[in-house]
Homo-oligomer: A and B are copies of this chain.
């Protein structure tokens, strides 16, 4: 192999991998992990540290000062400006949440204009089962019907924001087809393959290969694994020519079980990239690879 000879590279750069840092998330708190940034300044500090460690993209959920999720445009704007004061990292805003109306989840994207915003590409159960307690910890339906997806696509296009297509299952990749037919989505596409959420596609290398096979030849893609089990997926994705996402939204731990900071998680991903002969892309290299202006 050279990585460049694999079909799985698709539109990615075989030599340079784009590392995203998912700095905050919405579901976890400092009770679980002290290192989660809450305020715009804390988030911006982590973005800058992640960039130093090798990240090219910061994926962001806003929080209030006590850590609860917020969809306030002013907070998102402040995060944006605090990051831009410190570093050139690509800024990516979440738009996903359970039980928050779509208009609230897109307004700050339209107003603040990040370079990228996440777009959930389908519905599914979103659950967690505890093997040790032998019970479901939570169990919801994550609803993203087509009319909402299309509304987000249109809003992002008008705002000049690149949609990052979040695919939790095989069908979610297939859901791009009618949007492409209607020219609502246009190439190149940027995919996140989320693996291991109960309700979506299970997290195996075999399934990752399957998801990647579905993608158009020009697509950019990254893998998103959940919990400490993300590291084997990161290693497999790097070997396939993929991009990767790490950060406290997805996982608190290094492979040895130590709790880490966002920058430490990014640094470990960068070391893994080196270990297979690839190098982390800088933000500007990432912009070029993804065709962001």
Contacts and interface: CB of A to CB of B under 8 A. Distances in A.
Given A206-B8, A236-B236, A200 B178 contact: no
Interface stretch (A50-58, A76-84, A135-143): A135-143
Interface residues on A, range: 35 or more
Counted per complex, copies of this chain come to 4
Given A182-B134, A276-B232, A170 B268 contact: no
A231 interface: yes
Interface stretch (A67-75, A85-93, A118-126, A283-291): A118-126
Interface stretch (A26-34, A102-110, A207-215): A207-215
Contacts of A140: 145
Contacts of A236: 205, 235-236, 239-240
A99 interface: no
A277 to B, nearest CB: 4
Interface of A: 1-3, 5-8, 122-125, 127, 129, 131, 134, 136, 139-147, 168-171, 174-175, 177-178, 181-182, 195-196, 198-207, 209-210, 213-214, 225, 228-229, 231-236, 238-240, 255-256, 268, 271-272, 274-277
Given A174-B201, A236-B240, 11 more contacts: A1-B195, A1-B196, A1-B225, A123-B142, A123-B199, A169-B201, A171-B202, A177-B202, A205-B205, A229-B277, A232-B240
